[in-house]
Amino acid sequence: MKILVPVKRVVDYNVKVRVKSDKTGVELANVKMSMNPFDEIAIEEAVRLKEAGVATEVIAVSCGMPQCQETLRTAMAIGADRGILIETDVELQPLAVAKLLKALVDREQPQLVIAGKQAIDDDSNQTGQMLAALADMPQATFASKITVADGRAQVTREVDGGLETVSVALPAVITTDLRLNEPRYVTLPNIMKAKKKPLEVLKPADLGVDVMPRLKTLKVVEPAGRKAGIKVADAAALIAKLKTEAKVI
Amino acid sequence: MAALVLAEHEGASVRAATLNTVSAAAKAGGEVHVLIVGHNVGDAAQQAAKIGGVSKVLVADAAQFADGLAEAVAAQVLAVANGYSHVFAAATSYGKNILPRVAAKLDVAQISDISSVESADTFTRPIYAGNAIATVQSIDAIKVVTARPTNFDPAPSEGGTATVESVQAVAAGDTSRFVSRDVVKLDRPELQGAKIVVSGGRGIGSADNFKLLEPLADKLNAAIGASRAAVDAGYAPNDWQVGQTGKVVAPQLYIAVGISGAIQHLAGMKDSKVIVAINKDAEAPIFQIADYGLVGDLFQIVPEIVKELG
């Protein structure tokens, strides 16, 4: 069984992003970039399924600039067997990425696609669900536990109000939530090994996919700021403030 | 021009987030219709018909919708979406699960988690955990949108006189099956609708210690939340998580106890009207956005506050 895992190169989660002064976006020059944390969890889960003998091959896919090759090398250092980069400098929106992945699903015929539930840059939370719809596959989003057996995946999902368990027939798309696993640390020998693994580069046109954006970003601004308030001395002073000044209790 | 709102419901009643979504849809400028997909949802449909500003309620009532599976519900939305200028849902785990399927099948972009409607085709939405706000314009014929409930006032739950219409239920395959649900029923208000939220972080120290927050929440009739650090450490269940990837709340009063204030947590609560922070570290980033800060030992301070509240 093959598992396909899309991975996105995003601004590292520790970086405090700054909006550009011309309001066209956020500053990306000289900013540390990393693999989207949810995608790292997805790769880890796929590699664990391979180590458990459930999967035979893990393929990492990234879409975007040539630098996404670094993200694919990280995925291969975690344990993916090979990488595919769909290279373009067009701004890719979730629908376009889902179409690119659908084309790859047709070519590679994976039984499982494990994707991060959202990317921490655009916070869209769409690509996995869109891919499932385009490929006519069932989906299990926001997964915190995955068991694969007898041609189905049983997935516990984190939903508002608690947990829900669904069983989906393979092939299926699963998106990961934070509690699914803790990704391993990448070791130096594995980084060296990853450099020798195959990495294929394609263009969207090779897959016959139109990736033109459907949403125009008119501007990007800083959110309205919040000023720091005051420190109060003790519980009594706090309650007094909340009652008489803020009037919220 | 009309907007379709996919309602979120519990069979007998419409969930509160639907009211906020109706107001968001109304801002797009046309009529608002509500679609209810479920099984034995007659009561929810009657309730939806009373929501102010709704002119029509469509009901797809069939056994295959009983568990709200994304594949079945999305197929039903697609069956009625034709002719609408907009399809809205709340940016909750229900809406986020279903709506991208609808958008992909319509071959349109989805605009996720909007914080305002600027015009029929232009919306604002937070990106980078709320550290930037993007204004985006859709060039698609149908706009598929999820709306962040806390950014829109709820539509009135009474006063509307919408017509209720049954629609043909679309058959669903069985590639996806519901197995079980483990929903924690609390005696407290729901996190996303609560006027007051008391949240605990890593500083609480253990799942047992989280009980410290209960008397305080009881006194204030507050919901209890948690930071990602506390959830990851197993101190609190996942559905309590407030933040970029958890729930977004904007109560009148948010009390952060033992929470340092990571960016991703602030993304989920910084629109609260009044923020109180209690932390032993005077340099914790949470104090930079708190209206009232109290530096000290939370195990001492929280019981004192409970006592002060009498």
> pLDDT tens for residues A66-113?
999 999 999 999 999 999 999 999 999 999 999 999 999 999 999 999
* Cβ under 8 Å to A: B residues 153-212: 174-184, 192, 196
Q: At how many degrees (to 10) do helices A68-78 and A37-51 cross?
A: 40
Distance from CA of A69 to the nearest CA of B (A): 23
* Rounded mean pLDDT, B270-284: 96
Tell me what ipTM this predicted complex has: 0.94
Confidence category of residue A227, pLDDT binned at 50, 70, 90: confident
Residue of B nearest to A14 (CA): B263
List Cβ neighbours of A203 (8 Å cut-off, separation of 6 or more). A86, A87, A88
Encode pLDDT of A35-61 as tens digits: 999 999 999 999 999 999 999 999 999
Residues of A with Cβ-Cβ distance to B257 under 8 angstroms: none
- pLDDT for the residue A195: 97
In the predicted structure, residue B184 carries a pLDDT above the cut 90: no
Distance from CA of A79 to the nearest CA of B (A): 24
The stretches of B107-211 forming alpha helices (DSSP H) are none
Residues of A with Cβ-Cβ distance to B295 under 8 angstroms: 231
Confidence category of residue A228, pLDDT binned at 50, 70, 90: confident
Token reading at B203: 């500083």
Say whether A72 sits in a helix, a strand or coil. helix
Q: Is B297 on the interface with A (CB under 8 A)?
A: no
* Rounded mean pLDDT, A185-214: 97
Residue length, chain B?
310
In the predicted structure, residue A161 carries a pLDDT above the cut 90: no
- pLDDT for the residue A225: 83
In this complex, do A246 and B291 lie within 8 Å of one another by their Cβ atoms?
yes
* Cβ under 8 Å to A: B residues 241-270: 244-245, 247, 252-253, 263-264, 270
Question: How many beta-carbon contacts under 8 Å exist across A and B?
Answer: 261
DSSP type of residue A242 = I
Q: How many CB atoms lie within 10 A of CB A223?
A: 16
In this complex, do B127 and A228 lie within 8 Å of one another by their Cβ atoms?
no
List Cβ neighbours of B179 (8 Å cut-off, separation of 6 or more). A154, A165, A166, A167
In this complex, do A138 and B71 lie within 8 Å of one another by their Cβ atoms?
yes
- pLDDT for the residue B115: 96
